[in-house]
Amino acid sequence: MGQIAQKHKIVLIDDDKNILTSVSMALEAEGFDVTTYSDGELALRSMQDKPAELIVLDIKMPRMDGMEVLTKLRETSAIPVIFLTSKDDEIDEILGLRLGADDYITKPFSQRLLIERIRALLRRERYSATPAPKSSSDAVTERGHLVLDDDRHICTWKGKMVNLTVTEYLLVKALAQRPGHVKNRDQLMDMAYGENIYVDDRTIDSHIKRVRKKFKDVDDDFNHIETLYGVGYRYKESD
């Protein structure tokens, strides 16, 4: 009799009971073991005895909001965190990612998109936690100093790690696949979010802004993602 694969343990924290119900059902249908909480403080206490592998966390909650939950969590844990946020929370999104969130999804959101982000982050954690076999050449994109490893969702520049969210990684890959070719915002949206999922232009621009900052944190001279105003973005052809 074969061994049953262990389910990934996901914690979902949101004060909206409709989201807790619908998202937990969707995740359980995909084979995840989901625990839900409507209160951030209770979730933190409970996770001390019942650890998880990934947290999906709403920003705006009563008593203890998502930002405070993440701050307390990061004192003791590096568990991957995906924020759920509203469109007018751009400042919160940036602060959240600086505090150590791994990605964010804007409400209303596609459950399919959330599931893909969860899977990508779990893959990244698995590869970073254990020695991994070398990725196949098909899974690695190299453009001069830039290396993108799809198996691990890892990006390096001049040999240094650039800590990108899953969404940011997919945007960089979309641009780096064809250096010198302009990608408009619609094309970048399809690459990062999937077809038939709408996000506004400002969301893509915000992602690109953060991507540039993360590369510049590693290399002050980084200037390889160019803006063509009114058209889109492109990756420079050479180093």
Task: Look at residue 201 in the predicted model and tell me its pLDDT.
Answer: 63
Residues 34 and 57 placed together within one structural domain of the fold: yes
Q: Are 70 and 42 in contact (CB under 8 A)?
A: no
Which of 127, 162, 184 is the endpoint of a domain? 127
* Residues 194, 170: Cα–Cα separation, whole Å: 10
Helices 201-218 and 185-193, axial angle in degrees (round to 10): 80
Provide the domain count of the chain.
Answer: 2
| Per-residue CA distances from 47 to 15, 20, 41, 51, 154 (Å) | 17, 17, 10, 5, 28
pLDDT at 225 over 60: yes
Residue with tokens 């641009």: 175
In a domain, 4, yes or no: no
Quote the mean pLDDT of the chain: 82
Residues 231 and 157 placed together within one structural domain of the fold: yes
Which domain covers residue 104, as residue numbers?
A: 9-127
Give pLDDT tens digits for 71-112: 888 888 888 899 888 765 555 666 666 677 778 888 878 888
CATH number of the domain that residue 175 is part of: 1.10.10.10
* Residues 86, 74: Cα–Cα separation, whole Å: 23
In a domain, 91, yes or no: yes
Residues 175 and 108 placed together within one structural domain of the fold: no
Residues 106 and 162 placed together within one structural domain of the fold: no
Structure tokens at 92: 């919160």
Give pLDDT tens digits for 49-74: 888 999 999 988 888 888 888 888 88
Residues 99 and 192 placed together within one structural domain of the fold: no
Which of 127, 156, 172 is the endpoint of a domain? 127
Task: Look at residue 2 in the predicted model and tell me its pLDDT.
Answer: 45
pTM of this prediction?
A: 0.65
CA 94 to chain centre: 13
Q: Beta-strand (E) ranges in the chain?
A: 9-13, 33-37, 54-58, 81-85, 103-106, 140-143, 146-149, 154-157, 160-162, 225-228, 232-235
Which of 127, 148, 173 is the endpoint of a domain? 127
In a domain, 3, yes or no: no
pLDDT at 210 over 80: yes
